[in-house]
Amino acid sequence: MILIAIVYLLAVVFSIALGQIEVNFLNPTADQIAVMAYRWQRAIAASIAGVVLAASALTLQTVTRNNLVDSGIIGVNAGAVLGKVLALYYGLRASLPMSLIGSLMALSITLLLGYARGSDILRLVVAGIVVNSALSSAISLITLYLYTSASAVLSWTLGHIRLLSAQEWYLLTVSAVLTAFLLFRHRQLDLLTLSQDEARSLGLDYRRETAVLLVASSIAAALISSVFGVLSFVGVIAPNLARRVSEGTHIHLFMYSITLGATLMVLADLMARTLIKGIEVPTGLLVSFVGAAFYLYFFWRASIDKHP
Amino acid sequence: MINIPELKFCYGSRFTLSVPKILIDRFPAFMVGANGSGKTTLLRIIGGFIRIQTPPQIIWHGNWVPVKPRYFAYLPAQPYYEPSFSVRSYLLLAGNEEKLHEIAEELELSRILSYRMGTLSSGWLQRVLIARILLQDTSYVLMDEPTSFLDPEARKELLNILAKHPDKKMVISSHDLAFLSGFGAFVLGLRDGRVVFSGDPKTFFQQGIDDVFIKGYIM
C-alpha cells in the first residue's frame, strides 16, 4: 500500500515537472510557476476522477456480483454524451448542465426499468444495456446531422482532463463527497459478498442497501462523465488490480482501488500531454488503451487459473 | 420455540407448499424429504426470508414475535463467500474479535485464520461456515443440507461440534438419515409440498419413513 502511495506521489511530481514546456522544478521563474500551477490543477482533477471512478466501479462490481462492470453499464456515460450532443445540436452554450441532466436521466431510466417489477440485479444490468444501446443510436443519429461539429462530439466522447471552471469544481466536490459516503459503507459492502439470505440474516436490509449504494455510486460517476466525458476502463482496472494485491475486504479494496485509480489517471494525463509534440492526445483514449490491454491480460490469466 | 401457522405457498402453478399448524418445541429439529419436497422453501419461510401473510413466530427475549431474517443464523445449501477474504475477515462478518477467538479455539481454526477462503479444502471450509453460524449472536440456527458435501469422517466431526452447542435451537433440512438418527430430537417429514409426518425420530423410523420417502428406502 505504501509502495502504491509513493508511486502516486511520484506520478504527481512528474506530472508537474514534465510537459511540453520545460520548467526548472527546483528554481522556477514566475512564468514557470504559473505553468506548474496549471499542471498541478490538472493532476488534482485527474486524481479526483480516478478516485471517484474506481470507488464507484468497485461498489457496482460488488452489488452486481460482476467484476468486469463499471459505471458505463448504468448508462451514465451515454447519457452525458447525448446531453452534450443535444447542446451542440441546438447551439446551446451551457453544455455542462445538459450533459449532467442527460447522464442523470439515463441513470433514472435504467433504475426505473431495473426496479420496475421487483428488484433483481440481473434485470438492472439488462436495463443498463438496453438504455446504453438506445442512447448510442440516438447519439449517432444526431451526430450524423451535426456535420461540422461531429469531431467536437467525437473528441468529447474520448474524455479529456483539462482546466475546470468553478462550476465544474463544485460538481467534482459533490462526487468526492458521495465517494466518501461509499467508503463509509465498507462493512455493508462486505456483507453483500454473501448470498442475499445470508446477508439479511446478518442484519443487512438488502433492498434498501443495494438501492442506496447503486444510486450514490452512479450519481458520483455521472458527475465525472458530465464534466470530463467518457473515461472508460479506469473503473474496471483499478478494483481488479486491487483484488490481486490486497485482501478482499472492502476497506482494503477501496484504499488500493482509489490510489491505483488516481495513479492511473495522473499517468495517463501525463502521457496525454507529453506523448506527441505539439498536440494533446485525449486522456480517455490512453486510459482505454491501457484498459484494453488489461482486459486481455485478465481473461488470459483467468482462463489459465481455471485449466492448469 | 417456533410456531408455524397453517400456511399455503405457491411457486407459480407447479409447486404448492401447504403446511398445517405446527409447533417446533424440541431441538435439533430435522426436516426430511426427497429433493423438491419443499424443505428449503419451508426453511426460508421459517427464517422470514420469504414473507407470507401470517408469518411464523418465535420466542425472542421472552416474547412471541413474527420472524425476521436477523433472528436466525442461516447456512444455505450453497453459501456465497468472496474467495479473497481471509478466514478471519469472513468470521468477523458475524461476530466480534473476542467471540471469534473463543470459537476459533474450539473448532481448531486458530492456525488457519489468515488463510484465504478460496484456498480451503471442503472439510475446512465447512468448519469455517459452521464457525460463522455459531458466532452469530442468536440462539436460532437454520441449516440447509449441511452434510451434503462431507465424507463420513467430516460428518462425524460436524456432529460433534454441533452437539457441544445445546443452547442453539437448530432447524436442519437434510435427507441424510444417519445424521438425523444420531442427532435429531424432532422430525418433520415432507413429500410433494405436504407435511406427512411430525413427531420424534424413533416413531419416524418405525412408521413415518415410508410416507416420506419411497417404500424400500435403504439407509
Pick the closest to residue B150 from B138, B162, B141 (CA basis).
Answer: B162
Q: Which three cell numbers stand for residue A105?
A: 436521466
Q: Which amino acid is at A7?
A: V
* 3-state secondary structure (DSSP) of residue A128: helix
Residues A117, A115: Cα–Cα separation, whole Å: 6
Q: Which three cell numbers stand for residue A234?
A: 479506469
pLDDT at position A119, please? 60
Return the residue of A nearest to B69 by Cα.
A201
pLDDT at B67 over 90: yes
Residues A79, B23: Cα–Cα separation, whole Å: 56
Task: Determine whether the interchain pair A203/B70 forms a contact, defined as Cβ–Cβ distance below 8 Å.
Answer: yes
pLDDT at A121 over 80: no
Q: Compare CB distances from B136 to A191, A195, A202 and report the shortest one's residue.
A: A202
Angstrom CA distances, A90 to A39, A72, A93, A94, A154, stand at: 33, 25, 9, 11, 17
Peptide bond into B76 cis (omega under 30): no
Question: Contact B130/B147 with Cβ under 8 angstroms?
Answer: no
pLDDT at position A308, please? 35
Q: Which residue has the cell 417489477?
A: A117
Return the residue of B nearest to A186 by Cα.
B93
pLDDT at A130 over 80: yes
pLDDT at position A232, please? 80
Domain boundaries, chain B: 2-212
List pLDDT tens digits, range A132-168. 999 989 888 888 877 666 677 777 777 777 778 888 8
Confidence of residue A307 (pLDDT cuts 50, 70, 90): very low
Residues B95, A174: Cα–Cα separation, whole Å: 35
CA distance A206 to chain B (A): 11
Q: How many Cβ atoms from other residues are within 10 Å of residue A22's Cβ?
A: 10
Q: Taking the CA of residue A179 as centre, how many other CA atoms within 13 Å lie in the half-sphere pointing to its CB?
A: 28
- The interface pTM score, or ipTM, of the predicted complex is 0.90
CA distance B163 to chain A (A): 23
pLDDT at A99 over 80: yes
Site from A198, A207, A241, A257 to mutate, B interface, most B CB atoms within 10 angstroms: A198
Q: Which three cell numbers stand for residue A76?
A: 451514465
Q: Compare CB distances from B93 to A197, A200, A202 and report the shortest one's residue.
A: A202
Q: Give me the phi and psi of B73, to 5 degrees please.
A: -90, 125
Q: Give me the phi and psi of B124, to 5 degrees please.
A: -65, -40
Q: Which three cell numbers stand for residue A192?
A: 453483500
Task: Determine whether the interchain pair A201/B85 forms a contact, defined as Cβ–Cβ distance below 8 Å.
Answer: no
List pLDDT tens digits, range B19-36. 999 999 998 999 998 888
Chain Cα centroid distance, residue B60 = 18
Share above pLDDT 70 across residues of chain A, in percent, rounded to a whole number? 94
The strand pair at B72-75 and B140-144 is best described as parallel
* 3-state secondary structure (DSSP) of residue B172: strand
A201 touches chain B (CB under 8 A): yes
A191 touches chain B (CB under 8 A): yes
pLDDT at position A304, please? 52
Domains of chain A as residue ranges with CATH:
2-306 (1.10.3470.10)
A70 touches chain B (CB under 8 A): no
Put residue B4 in one of left, alpha, beta given phi > 0 → left and psi -120 to 50 → alpha.
beta
- CATH fit for domain B2-212, picks 2.40.50.140, 2.60.120.380, 3.40.50.2000, 3.40.50.300: 3.40.50.300
Across the range A37-57, mean pLDDT stands at 93
Pick the closest to residue A273 from A29, A23, A4, A33 (CA basis).
Answer: A23
CB-CB neighbors (< 8 A) of B70 in chain A? 200-203
Any bridge partners for residue B172, and if so which? B30, B143
pLDDT at position A225, please? 87
Site from A186, A201, A208 to mutate, B interface, most B CB atoms within 10 angstroms: A201
List pLDDT tens digits, range A79-90. 888 888 888 778
Task: Determine whether the interchain pair A195/B94 forms a contact, defined as Cβ–Cβ distance below 8 Å.
Answer: no
Return the residue of B nearest to A198 by Cα.
B74
Q: Who has greater pLDDT, B104 or A20?
A: B104
